[in-house]
Amino acid sequence: MQTAAVQWMDWPAEVAAGQPFRTRMVVWGVCAVQPVFHAGPQANLAAVTFEPFFTFESPAYCALDLSSPSLVAIALDTAGIAPGLFATATRQYWMQAVADKPNRVFGEVTVRASSPDQSRRNAAGWIYSQVDSLGCRRVSPIGLYRPESELVLENPTDTASLSGSFVQGYIYDAAAPVCGETRVFHLVSRD
């Protein structure tokens, strides 16, 4: 078994009480034959915590020590199912995961007794940022190098040192296209 560090998570901003929900996670890949990913979700009355890990069909082998995320070039884009959360009235739970700290808070999820708004996904994690040929700033979780993983940054203010930062925000469909895209990332904060 090998613990996996979560680099990025996104999840519905609002969910219905008692209903499990899908959480996208980006974790560093592992150097192994047939790794099996386990999201390791658990919940209590304050938070949903993911403690992901890999198990292996065959013994792990590597030419290098890849226990340090800085040595791994490719991340795994995967998902976990968060358990249904208790709420008789609207309330928030923390969303956290094993990352650079034992349990890092990535944000929160709002739980409603009924009729959650499904139009927005909260998102947080380490990103890299680049400006495309049209002058548009795009962000993507660190370790994902596919064009479809990039999101246009809706509010690109003071982004000179954005790459490598831990950011929090949300993903939604903008009313008017931003840099030709309607699916955008709105930055709320960064560490």
Amino acid 102: pLDDT: 79
pTM flag (> 0.85): yes
Q: How far is CA 132 from CA 61, 125, 140, 142, 174, in A?
A: 38, 21, 13, 17, 19
Domain limits, the chain: 2-117, 123-190
Model confidence pLDDT, tens digit, residues 47-79 = 999 999 988 876 655 554 444 444 445 789 999
Low-confidence stretches of the chain (pLDDT beneath 50)? 64-72
What CATH code is assigned to 2-117?
2.60.40
Torsional sign, CA 6, 13, 77, 22: positive
- At residue 61, the pLDDT reads 56
